[in-house]
């Protein structure tokens, strides 16, 4: 598989189909990998693929430094590939401007990441070249998909509040979550807007609540559940729970799952006349 | 109450008959109720004065002619005076009473009133004028239940010389009698 | 004011106010006052009862014929005007006169019944009209007594005013003729609300209960307005307010004890005519307070 | 603007405010606790001339650059006070209204409560004013042409008035002829003049007016744009007849074999052919083919062939004398044309209630229970019976006719709570027409109230009773059922408290005026509001009775609610005058409450990242994309931009933008933030 | 607010200009009384209400929030309320997930003709929030850290 990947990368670079290949390289220890940006065909051996390739490389599509390297080919797992669908929908990239090297994946991380438990994109839904044997994508029920929320949704109002206050209290406003997020691509994040200052930038409970709720809400109908935010959070806040909760509501209310179909209308930029009226009096 | 209207029953038009006899256009009444509102005796009536007109309008002959209302009307003419549509309601009552008597429909519950009228006119017919004592006598004989009503007033009137024992016969009493005959 | 007509006014007393009748003091005082200040009244020869309510309530033609007979008698005597102090009579005469004028057939029937023609050019007036038309100057001239603080509620009842389009006398909702006369006698008319209400009139015998209720309302209103006496120009009104007053008091448990006087009696007192000559002794409710006010 | 000098003017509104709000205290507290407030006062009536003068004087004297008027709802006088500010040179958008009447003094009876809330509300508005920015009215050009939707009396009147004013009018009528319901009426109240005699000349006038372009058998497909600049697509439905070639000679419909089709114009009481003109005076007096019922089209549908290829019946085209090209074209297709107009009048009319709603009156089962419009056709000299009153079932002259009022009106249980307004009068008229034609007949009318407000109307209805002898019975009819040849009507007369049973020969229902079935669709196409009964809504029931909720779109006639002919004509005239006023200027000024995408200095250019959520949510397609280019022409960034002409200022884009790069003038982020920030509960 | 019985909930209402604001005006015109605990912020359309506004209102001490606009289909801007409905359909569960009682964030459609409904709604919101008691959790976190109203500009 690695060989196939390297071969494809070399071919793309040689043919000048792309200027750069975003991929995974070996890290300092075997349990780690790092992102690499291959611009020369001779460097393709730096590319690797294993179960430690956790990063969602699409986040580099928003980084000026990476963009400067020219037209990219990008190595994506099934989950990461969903990001590209969203980015296309949100006018951030054009399909023809990138080359997608999809890799089939049976789960990453050790122990395996939460998202892999109910993974239904072992084979990416969008790609130009597929590396690895095509895997029949599984199907999960709605309940299975959001099973991890159960124990939190069952909590009482006060327990929920206390739980999240404890979590948010840890937040140091480092913004690693938004930096890593491939869909947090605003030039100026709302938290950086100071006229007016909607969200208090200092790290204290009030601002932390507002920040984390807003961050999650801004991903409503968009987050593709790569769990990168949660992974990079130095305070170990289970941020993906919030994302997942919104994904659940979006699916429940609007039958919409982000990143699955490039023809679907963006959930939060459209409406249906028969959307749920339940909470309205 | 039920009013039935069919092609057959439309032939006897009560409203038209009343209109012809009285010259009063009952159709004009738009049932505002002002007559009832101002009627001093309405509280005692079985039907309100406007309802009586309504009966005439829709041809409810029996209801109109057997009502107590037509007899309880005191002819104070407040209704006519204030009617916005110039319907002569009090005058209409006269016609209805007349028709009621003619058809023998006068409500027995107001027999006092009809008897009084009878006694009064009998006195006029007999003497040309009212002989109050004799008129009273006839009325009380016919309505014995009222006999005790004026137990105090009567003697006092007598003592004040207000009731004459002698009937006031006029010379032309026969002429008056003939009037009664001709106006039957 | 035409002097020659004064002497020519036909007098139609009607049954109620002739001597020996229930309201003879009205007739007595009317005649006594006219003796004093004119105009001269001459009783219509052999007049008959107008039929009153009982006739018009039951037989329109009869009612009309009975009234018209009197008018025709007056016409034959050459009267241009008839005074009918009893408003029942004046109303009946006026209405009958109008009815025959408006209805050719009725006129023919009536003339046939009374066996006399009827021209219809006699004017029928009530007592208030007579005083207002002929006597206001005379009262002012010949007035001898002025009552001391005598507050009078003028009560018109129904028959003087209604139906207004036929009777054409005064304002049907707020008449003032009697007040003007009362003022002329020196008494003070009070402002009150029920002066044109119905007293129950002819129901005095047949539906006494109705009469008692209506008259109670009237008495209450007059007394509450501060009246010392009620002035009337109608024998029925008088009978109900005066003769029935004790009964009303008993029925409604309120003491009124308010004298009810004829307007003619008030004029007479102002002219200093003897109370007895005016029939003031014939009232059921003692009139002494009124008489004394003129002392 | 650093520190604004803000003036606060608290209105007593007579005692409307001051009775339950201590206005002096509000002014005092505001001055004391709001550092930016340099002047406060109270006044008896701020909206009065002296009140406005006070405002103007103090703006000048005190050098105010921000104003809060604490008074009635901004819907009442925001405009007044902003105009007053303009006269002093202060930009009007520095004036805000604090609503302490409708939303405080009138609803909170206790003085301490009202005073506290008022103080809060004033503080919130003061903070907003602090952030108010000067805005300038937006100018947009005006297309000097009007569209009138509907060719009934309202549409015709409006079109004529606008055309007479010198402007082009495009009239769209969905039926084959203009004329609408008025053309169906026999006589009109309260004058009993023949409806067609007054309607037909107007129709001709409209047809002949050079300024009026008429599209019959056409419907509105879509409406885009905004006041002064609408783009309208009109669907010209396939008529199957070429209007330019056809002379209306009648040859075709005379030979048409499908002659048993119920005539819509005669309310089903008469028949028509498949190629037909709706009525003899139709304009244009050129036929249309009813493709549903024409046997040729039926055949073509069945065989799935082009209509012209069907050979089943070609009588009409054969009869057509036009040569060489026939005026009939079976293959004609719908055509969509696009027009640009500056103003629109909606005059789409009403629909008579269908009798199926009243099962208790037979629900359409009994032929002799007819609707008001059917009676009009029966009584009309040009109707199916040539004006002779015959009952539909057996053609007998009815001796007893019962008229039932409020059928579908004032009947919340049947979903129609309003009064249809015209039925009392037209029923009175019907009784008269009936009595004029059937002298010995008896007319009974069951009514709840007789509502005849209008010049000569009361007299008219009384005339029906007094002179024509119609018997009015006060009560609703409970049931109509058939008994032999008769219809038994079970009603009541509540005035006497009696049940009334009438054996009638015919029953006429005064059926309600309902909104057109597709009223909601037209409302949605035009982005205008409609009420609970689907009648189109005027923006203000008293002061803006012909204006719809969308600028530049006006209402005329019964599409807005039940009304009679005089009222309809008056409203049409009013709408036309509004249109003429609009078209009289070359450009329009409109409220500058529009969205704006931020622009920054390079290298940022704009904080907009170009995700175009705003574009997707905008109901007016007012968001465009703009490439920010380097000198060499290369695209640095693609960002959103607002088309001011299209933007209506809803703020949907602003709330959707995650980076808050798009804001709504007049309700920008800082203003709202300031307002929320000032909520400050104690 | 030490005394529980004296707790008066603090409600911020975000209303659209065309329907609910006008409905609230109508309640006033009809002199329909209701509880005075509400502070109204008027916006052109419910579609223009950013969830940040709600968060800010809680930061400023609101115990409850009402968002109200035109009935579905009646939006002055055609679809603003439909978009708003989507927004609240996900935002409210999010807050609930974070431990905020959903009764503290209420939504309604009140037309310009529904003065009565405005009164009922406001009284309903005030009563239900009163029953919940003060939003102590949020008040507590508001108390820590710098003053929320401090502004940098």
HEC letters along chain C: CCHHHHCCEEECCCHHHCCCCCCHHHHHHHHHHHHHHCCCEEECCCCCCCCHHHHHCCCHHHHHHHHHHHHHHHHHCCCCEEECCCHHHHHHHHHHHHHHHHCHHHHHHHHHHHCCCCCCCCEEECHHHHHHHHHHHHHHHHCCCCCCCCEEEEECCCCCCCCHHHHCCCCCCCCCHHHHHHHHHCCEECCCCCCCCCCCCCHHHHCHHHHHHHHHHHHHHHHHCCCCEEEECCHHHHHHHHHCHHHHHHHHCCCCCCCEEEHHHHHHHHCCCCCCCCCHHHCCCCCHHHHHHCC
Q: Across the interface, which of D604, D610, D658 has its CB nearest the CB of A91?
A: D610
Give the Cα separation of B133 and D301 in Å (integer): 103
DSSP letters spanning D120-166: HHHHHHHHHHHT-----PEEEE---EEEEE--SHHHHHHHHHHHHTT
Chain D residues whose CB is inside 8 A of the E40 CB are 99, 103, 121
Q: Which helix (H) or strand (E) holds A80?
A: helix A78-89
Instruction: Write down the pLDDT at residue B152.
Output: 63
Q: Residue C226 phi/psi, 5° resolution?
A: 95, 15
> Measured between CB atoms, does D16 come within 8 Å of chain E?
no
Give the Cα separation of E25 and E37 in Å (integer): 16
Chain B residues whose CB is inside 8 A of the C196 CB are 78
Residue stretches of chain A with pLDDT short of 70: none
Q: Across the interface, which of A91, A187, A193 has its CB nearest the CB of D612?
A: A91
Instruction: Please report whether residue B1 resides in a domain.
Output: no
Instruction: Write down the pLDDT at residue E2.
Output: 46
Query: Is residue D492 classed as helix, strand or coil in its secondary structure?
Result: strand
| From B154-163, D332-341, E1-10, the region with the lowest mean pLDDT | E1-10
| Final residue in a domain of this structure, among B106, B140, B174 | B106
Chain A residues whose CB is inside 8 A of the E144 CB are 204-206
Residue of D nearest to E113 (CA): D531
Instruction: Write down the pLDDT at residue C2.
Output: 41
Pick the CATH number of D352-514 from 3.40.50.300, 3.40.30.10, 3.20.20.70, 3.50.50.60: 3.50.50.60
- Indicate whether B23 and B84 sit together in one domain: yes
| Final residue in a domain of this structure, among B50, B73, B106 | B106
- Indicate whether B92 and B118 sit together in one domain: no
Instruction: Please report whether residue B25 resides in a domain.
Output: yes
Instruction: Write down the pLDDT at residue C4.
Output: 46
Q: Closest Cα of chain C to B129: distance in Å? A: 5
Q: Does A163 sit within 8 Å of E145, measured CB to CB?
A: no
Tokens standing for A263?
A: 């023809």
Chain D residues whose CB is inside 8 A of the E45 CB are 650-652
Q: What is the DSSP letter of D101?
A: I
Residue of D nearest to B50 (CA): D495
What are the residue boundaries of the structural domains of chain C, listed by start? 3-125, 138-293
pLDDT band of residue E152 (cuts 50, 70, 90) is very low
Q: Could you tell me which of C200, C164, C156 has the C-alpha nearest to residue C182?
A: C156
Q: Across the interface, which of C52, C57, C158 has its CB nearest the CB of B76?
A: C158
Q: Does D549 sit within 8 Å of E39, measured CB to CB?
A: no
Tokens standing for C3?
A: 């002097």
Instruction: Please report whether residue B3 resides in a domain.
Output: no
The answer to whether domain D352-514 and domain D595-665 are alike in fold is no
> Measured between CB atoms, does D339 come within 8 Å of chain E?
no
Higher pLDDT pick, D440 / B167? D440
All domains of chain E in start order, with CATH: 7-141 (3.40.50)
Asked if pLDDT for residue D542 goes beyond 70, the answer is yes
Residue with the two structure tokens 């071969």: A7
Residue with the two structure tokens 């809680």: E58
Tally of CA atoms within 13 A in the half-sphere of A147 that contains its CB: 10
C3-125 folds as: Glutathione S-transferase Yfyf (Class Pi); Chain A, domain 2 (1.20.1050)
Q: Does A185 sit within 8 Å of D656, measured CB to CB?
A: no
CA distances from D249 to B96, D253, D265, D295 (A): 67, 9, 20, 22
List the beta strands (DSSP E) in D556-617.
587-590, 595-597
Give the Cα separation of D437 and D428 in Å (integer): 14
Tell me if D507 sits within 8 A of D526, measured CB to CB: no
Q: Which helix (H) or strand (E) holds D566?
A: helix D565-583
Give the Cα separation of E149 and D112 in Å (integer): 26
Tell me if D81 sits within 8 A of D55, measured CB to CB: yes
Q: For D147-172+209-236+339-349+516-583, CATH number?
A: 3.50.50.60
Q: Closest Cα of chain E to D69: distance in Å? A: 16
Residue of D nearest to B28 (CA): D466
- Indicate whether B134 and B65 sit together in one domain: no
- Indicate whether B96 and B56 sit together in one domain: yes
Give the Cα separation of A168 and A211 in Å (integer): 9
Q: Could you tell me which of A245, A230, A242 has the C-alpha nearest to residue A176?
A: A230
Vertex C231, ends C228 and C233: CA angle to 5°?
A: 170
CATH of the domain at B102: 1.10.1060.10
Domain that holds residue B173: 109-182
pLDDT in tens, E87-103: 999 999 999 999 999 99
Residue D419 CB neighbour total at 10 angstroms = 17
Instruction: Please report whether residue B92 resides in a domain.
Output: yes
Residue D207 CB neighbour total at 10 angstroms = 16
pLDDT band of residue B3 (cuts 50, 70, 90) is confident
Instruction: Write down the pLDDT at residue C6.
Output: 39
Instruction: Write down the pLDDT at residue E147.
Output: 55
Helical H runs in B83-152? Answer: 89-102, 111-127, 132-142
pLDDT band of residue D579 (cuts 50, 70, 90) is very high
Q: Does D103 sit within 8 Å of E79, measured CB to CB?
A: no
pTM of the predicted model, to two decimals? 0.68
- Indicate whether B82 and B114 sit together in one domain: no
Q: Across the interface, which of B5, B47, B60 has its CB nearest the CB of D502?
A: B5
Q: Which helix (H) or strand (E) holds A131?
A: strand A129-131
Give the Cα separation of E15 and A149 in Å (integer): 34
- Indicate whether B22 and B96 sit together in one domain: yes
| Final residue in a domain of this structure, among B63, B80, B106 | B106
pLDDT in tens, D197-221: 999 999 999 999 999 999 999 999 9
Q: Closest Cα of chain D to A38: distance in Å? A: 25
Instruction: Please report whether residue B174 resides in a domain.
Output: yes
Give the Cα separation of D227 and D232 in Å (integer): 12
Instruction: Write down the pLDDT at residue C3.
Output: 38
Helical H runs in D403-515? Answer: 423-437, 457-466
Residue partners of D31: CB distance under 8 A and separation at least 6: D8, D37, D39, D40
Vertex E142, ends E136 and E143: CA angle to 5°?
A: 90
Q: Closest Cα of chain E to D508: distance in Å? A: 34
pLDDT band of residue E146 (cuts 50, 70, 90) is low
Q: Closest Cα of chain D to B55: distance in Å? A: 7
Residue of A nearest to E60 (CA): A206
Residue partners of E3: CB distance under 8 A and separation at least 6: none
For an interface test with E, give the residue of A239, A271, A273, A276 to mutate (most E CBs within 10 A): A271
Tell me if C10 sits within 8 A of C81, measured CB to CB: yes
> Measured between CB atoms, does B11 come within 8 Å of chain D?
no
Taking residues D600-616, what's their average pLDDT? 92
| From B158-167, D196-205, D401-410, D529-538, the region with the lowest mean pLDDT | B158-167
What number of residues does chain E have? 153
Question: Cα E28 to chain center, whole Å?
Answer: 19
Contact of chains A and D by CB distance (3 or more pairs under 8 angstroms): yes
Give the Cα separation of C174 and A29 in Å (integer): 116
- Indicate whether B80 and B26 sit together in one domain: yes
Pick the CATH number of D6-135 from 1.10.3470, 2.40.128, 3.40.50, 3.90.550: 3.40.50
Give the Cα separation of D531 and D536 in Å (integer): 6
Q: Could you tell me which of E75, D625, E108, E44 has the C-alpha nearest to residue E83?
A: E75
pLDDT in tens, E107-140: 999 988 888 999 999 999 999 999 999 998 888 8
Residues of chain A with a CB closer than 8 angstroms to some CB in chain D = 90-92, 185-190, 193, 195-196, 198, 218, 265-266, 268-270
Asked if pLDDT for residue D483 goes beyond 70, the answer is yes
Q: Does A198 sit within 8 Å of E86, measured CB to CB?
A: no
Share of chain D above pLDDT 70, in %: 99
Taking residues D66-73, what's their average pLDDT? 96
pLDDT band of residue C295 (cuts 50, 70, 90) is confident
Q: Does D672 sit within 8 Å of E29, measured CB to CB?
A: no
Residue B137 CB neighbour total at 10 angstroms = 13
Chain B residues whose CB is inside 8 A of the D469 CB are 27
Q: Across the interface, which of B118, B120, B183 has its CB nearest the CB of C52?
A: B120
Q: Closest Cα of chain E to D285: distance in Å? A: 39
Residue D124 CB neighbour total at 10 angstroms = 24
Q: Does B31 sit within 8 Å of D501, measured CB to CB?
A: no
Instruction: Please report whether residue B2 resides in a domain.
Output: no
Q: Which helix (H) or strand (E) holds A37?
A: strand A33-38
Residues 158-197 of chain D with CB under 8 A from chain E are none
Tell me if E56 sits within 8 A of A198, measured CB to CB: yes
Vertex D370, ends D365 and D375: CA angle to 5°?
A: 160
Q: What is the DSSP letter of A142?
A: H
Instruction: Write down the pLDDT at residue B51.
Output: 93
CA distances from C248 to A156, C220, D99, D444 (A): 80, 11, 63, 49
Q: Could you tell me which of A251, A229, A36 has the C-alpha nearest to residue A142?
A: A251
Q: Could you tell me which of A79, A20, A84, A73 has the C-alpha nearest to residue A53?
A: A79
Q: Does B163 sit within 8 Å of C20, measured CB to CB?
A: yes
Q: Does D99 sit within 8 Å of E25, measured CB to CB?
A: yes
Chain A residues whose CB is inside 8 A of the D656 CB are 268-269
Q: Does E72 sit within 8 Å of A277, measured CB to CB?
A: yes
Instruction: Write down the pLDDT at residue C25.
Output: 92
Q: Which CATH class is domain D595-665?
A: alpha beta
Please tell me whether the peptide bond between A111 and the residue prior to it is cis, using omega within 30 degrees of 0. Answer: yes
pLDDT in tens, C130-171: 999 999 999 999 999 999 999 999 999 999 999 999 999 999
pLDDT band of residue E153 (cuts 50, 70, 90) is very low
Instruction: Write down the pLDDT at residue C7.
Output: 59
Instruction: Write down the pLDDT at residue A257.
Output: 95
Query: Is residue D544 classed as helix, strand or coil in its secondary structure?
Result: strand
For an interface test with D, give the residue of B2, B6, B25 to mutate (most D CBs within 10 A): B6
Chain C residues whose CB is inside 8 A of the B177 CB are none
Pick the CATH number of C138-293 from 1.20.1740.10, 3.40.50.300, 3.40.50.10860, 3.40.50.11810: 3.40.50.11810
CA distances from D523 to A228, D535, D559 (A): 48, 9, 10
């Amino acid at each position: 598989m690695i060989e196939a990947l390297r071969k494809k990368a070399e071919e793309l670079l040689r043919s000048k189909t792309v200027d750069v290949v975003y991929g995974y390289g070996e890290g300092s220890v075997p349990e780690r990998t790092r992102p690499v940006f291959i611009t020369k065909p001779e460097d393709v051996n730096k590319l690797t693929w294993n179960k430690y390739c956790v990063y969602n490389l699409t986040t580099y599509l928003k980084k000026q430094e990476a963009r400067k390297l020219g037209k990219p080919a990008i190595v994506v797992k099934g989950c990461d590939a969903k990001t590209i669908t969203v980015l296309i929908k949100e006018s951030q990239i054009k399909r023809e401007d990138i080359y997608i090297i999809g890799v089939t994946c049976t789960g990453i991380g050790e122990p395996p990441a939460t998202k892999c438990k109910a993974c239904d994109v072992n084979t990416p839904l969008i790609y130009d070249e597929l590396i690895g044997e095509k895997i029949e994508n599984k199907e999960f029920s709605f309940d299975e998909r959001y099973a991890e929320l159960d124990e939190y949704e069952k909590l009482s109002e006060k327990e929920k509040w206390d739980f999240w206050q404890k979590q948010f209290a840890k937040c140091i406003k480092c913004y690693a979550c938004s930096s890593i997020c491939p869909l947090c691509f605003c030039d100026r994040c709302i938290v950086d807007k100071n006229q007016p200052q909607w969200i208090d930038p200092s790290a204290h409970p009030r601002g932390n609540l507002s920040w984390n709720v807003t961050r999650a809400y801004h991903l409503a109908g968009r987050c593709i559940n790569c769990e990168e935010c949660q992974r990079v959070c130095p305070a170990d806040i289970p941020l993906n729970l919030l994302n997942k909760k919104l994904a659940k509501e979006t699916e429940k209310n609007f039958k919409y799952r982000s990143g699955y179909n490039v023809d679907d209308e963006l959930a939060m930029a459209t409406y249906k006349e028969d959307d749920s009226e339940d909470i309205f009096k | 109450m039920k009013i039935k209207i069919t092609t057959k029953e439309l032939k006897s038009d009560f409203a038209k008959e009343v209109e012809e006899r009285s010259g009063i256009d009952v159709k004009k009444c738009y049932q505002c109720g002002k007559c009832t509102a101002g009627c001093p005796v309405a509280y005692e009536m079985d039907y309100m004065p406007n309802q009586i007109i309504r009966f005439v309008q829709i041809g409810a002959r029996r209801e109109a002619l057997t009502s107590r209302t037509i007899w309880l009307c005191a002819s104070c003419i407040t209704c006519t005076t204030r009617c916005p549509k110039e319907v002569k309601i009090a005058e209409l009552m006269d016609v209805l009473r007349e028709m009621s008597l003619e058809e023998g429909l006068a409500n027995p519950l107001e027999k006092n009133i009809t008897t009084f009228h009878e006694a009064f006119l009998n006195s006029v017919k007999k003497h040309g004028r009212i002989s109050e004592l004799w008129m009273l006598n006839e009325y009380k004989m016919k309505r014995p239940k009222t006999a005790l009503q004026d137990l105090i007033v009567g003697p006092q009137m007598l003592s004040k010389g207000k009731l004459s024992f002698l009937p006031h016969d006029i010379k032309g009493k026969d002429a008056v009698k003939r009037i009664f005959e001709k106006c039957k | 004011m035409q002097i020659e007509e004064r002497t020519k006014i036909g007098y139609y007393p009607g049954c109620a106010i002739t001597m020996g009748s229930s309201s003879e003091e009205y007739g007595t005082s009317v005649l006594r006052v006219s003796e004093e200040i004119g105009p001269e009244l001459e009783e219509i020869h052999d007049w008959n009862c107008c039929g009153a309510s009982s006739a018009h309530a039951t037989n329109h033609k009869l009612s009309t014929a009975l009234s018209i007979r009197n008018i025709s008698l007056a016409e034959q005597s050459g009267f241009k005007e008839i005074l009918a102090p009893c408003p029942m009579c004046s109303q009946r005469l006026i209405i009958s006169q109008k009815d025959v004028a408006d209805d050719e057939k009725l006129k023919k029937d009536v003339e046939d019944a009374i066996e006399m023609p009827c021209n219809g050019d006699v004017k029928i007036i009530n007592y208030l009209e007579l005083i207002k038309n002929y006597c206001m100057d005379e009262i002012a001239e010949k007035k001898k007594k002025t009552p001391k603080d005598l507050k009078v509620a003028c009560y018109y009842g129904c028959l003087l005013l209604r139906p207004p389009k036929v009777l054409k006398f005064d304002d049907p909702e707020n008449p003032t003729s009697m007040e003007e006369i009362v003022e002329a006698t020196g008494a003070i008319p009070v402002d009150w609300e029920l002066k044109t209400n119905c007293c129950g009139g002819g129901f005095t015998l047949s539906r006494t209960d109705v009469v008692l209720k209506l008259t109670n309302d009237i008495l209450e209103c007059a007394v509450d307005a501060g009246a010392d006496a009620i002035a009337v120009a109608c024998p029925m009104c008088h009978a109900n307010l005066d003769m029935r007053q004790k009964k009303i008091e008993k029925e409604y448990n309120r003491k009124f004890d308010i004298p009810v006087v004829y307007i003619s009696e008030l004029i007479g007192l102002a002219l200093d005519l003897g109370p007895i000559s005016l029939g003031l002794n014939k009232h059921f409710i003692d009139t002494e307070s009124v008489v004394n006010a003129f002392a | 603007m650093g520190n604004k000098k803000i003036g606060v003017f608290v209105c007593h509104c007579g005692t409307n405010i001051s009775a339950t709000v201590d206005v002096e205290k509000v002014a005092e507290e505001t001055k004391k606790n709001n550092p930016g407030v340099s002047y406060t006062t109270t006044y008896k009536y701020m909206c009065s001339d002296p009140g406005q003068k006070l405002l103007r004087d103090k703006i000048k004297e005190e050098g105010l650059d921000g104003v809060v008027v604490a008074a009635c709802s901004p819907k009442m006088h925001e405009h007044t006070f902003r105009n007053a500010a303009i006269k002093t040179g202060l930009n009007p958008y520095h004036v805000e209204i604090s609503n302490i009447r409708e939303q405080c003094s009138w609803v909170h009876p206790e003085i301490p409560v009202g005073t506290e809330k008022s103080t809060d509300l004033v503080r919130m508005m003061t903070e907003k004013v602090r952030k108010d920015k000067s805005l300038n009215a937006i100018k947009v050009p005006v297309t000097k042409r009007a569209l009138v939707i509907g060719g009934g009396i309202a549409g015709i009147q409006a079109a004529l008035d606008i055309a007479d004013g010198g402007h082009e009018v495009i009239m769209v009528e969905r039926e084959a002829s203009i004329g609408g319901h008025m053309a169906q009426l026999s006589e009109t109240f309260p004058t009993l003049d023949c409806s067609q005699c007054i309607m037909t000349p107007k129709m001709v006038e409209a047809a002949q007016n050079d300024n009026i372009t008429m599209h019959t058998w056409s419907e509105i497909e879509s409406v885009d744009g905004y006041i002064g600049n609408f783009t309208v697509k009109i669907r010209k439905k396939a008529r199957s007849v070429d209007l330019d070639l056809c002379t209306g000679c009648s040859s075709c419909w005379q030979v048409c074999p499908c002659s048993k089709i119920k005539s819509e114009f005669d309310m089903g009481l008469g028949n028509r052919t498949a190629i037909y003109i709706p009525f003899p005076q139709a304009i244009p007096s050129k036929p249309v083919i009813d493709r549903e019922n024409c046997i040729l089209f039926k055949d073509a549908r069945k065989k799935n062939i082009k209509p012209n290829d069907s050979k089943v019946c070609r009588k009409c085209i054969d009869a057509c004398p036009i040569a060489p090209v026939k005026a009939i074209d079976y293959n004609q297709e719908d055509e969509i044309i696009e027009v640009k107009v500056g103003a629109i009048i909606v005059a789409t009319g009403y629909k008579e209630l269908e009798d199926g709603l009243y099962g208790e009156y037979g629900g359409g089962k009994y032929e002799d229970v007819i609707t008001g419009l059917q009676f009009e056709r029966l009584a009309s000299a040009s109707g199916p019976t040539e004006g002779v009153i015959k009952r539909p079932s057996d053609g007998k002259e009815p001796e007893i006719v019962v008229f039932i009022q409020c059928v579908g009106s004032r009947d919340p249980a049947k979903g129609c709570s309003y009064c249809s307004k015209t039925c009392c009068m037209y029923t009175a008229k019907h009784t008269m027409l009936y009595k004029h034609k059937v002298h010995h007949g008896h007319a009974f009318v069951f009514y709840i109230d007789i509502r005849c407000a209008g010049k000569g109307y009361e007299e008219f209805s009384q005339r029906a009773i007094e002179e024509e002898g119609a018997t009015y019975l006060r009560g609703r009819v409970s049931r109509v059922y058939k008994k032999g040849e008769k219809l038994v009507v079970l009603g009541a007369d509540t005035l006497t408290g009696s049940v009334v049973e009438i054996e009638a020969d015919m029953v006429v229902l005064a059926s309600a005026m309902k909104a057109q079935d597709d009223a909601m669709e037209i409302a949605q196409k035009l982005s205008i509001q409609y009420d609970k009964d689907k009648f189109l809504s005027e923006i203000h029931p008293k002061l803006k009775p012909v204006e719809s909720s969308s600028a530049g779109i006006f209402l005329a006639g019964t599409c807005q609610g039940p009304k009679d002919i005089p009222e309809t004509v008056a409203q049409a005239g009013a709408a036309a005058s509004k249109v003429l006023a609009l078209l009289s200027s070359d450009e329009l000024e409109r409220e500058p409450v529009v969205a704006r995408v931020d622009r920054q200095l390079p290298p940022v250019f704009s904080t907009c990242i170009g995700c175009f959520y705003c574009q997707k949510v905008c109901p007016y397609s007012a968001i465009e994309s703009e490439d920010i280019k380097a000198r060499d022409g290369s695209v640095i960034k693609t960002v959103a931009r607002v088309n001011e002409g299209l933007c209506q200022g809803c703020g949907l884009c602003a709330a959707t933008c995650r980076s808050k790069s798009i804001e709504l003038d007049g309700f920008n982020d800082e203003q709202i933030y300031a307002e929320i920030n000032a909520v400050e509960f104690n | 607010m030490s005394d529980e019985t004296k707790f008066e909930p603090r409600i911020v209402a975000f209303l659209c200009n065309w329907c609910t604001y006008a409905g609230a005006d109508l309640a006033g015109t009809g002199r329909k009384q209701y509880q005075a605990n509400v502070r109204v912020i008027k916006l052109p359309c419910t579609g223009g209400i950013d969830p940040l506004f709600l968060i800010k209102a809680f930061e400023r001490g609101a115990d409850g929030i009402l968002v109200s606009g035109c009935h579905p289909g009646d939006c002055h801007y055609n679809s603003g309320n439909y978009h708003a409905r989507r927004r609240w359909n996900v935002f409210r569960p999010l807050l609930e997930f974070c431990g905020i009682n959903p009764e503290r964030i209420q939504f309604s459609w009140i037309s310009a003709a529904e003065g009565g409904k405005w009164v009922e709604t406001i009284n309903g919101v005030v009563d239900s929030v009163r029953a919940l008691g003060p939003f102590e959790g949020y008040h507590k976190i508001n108390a820590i850290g710098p003053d929320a109203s401090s502004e940098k500009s």
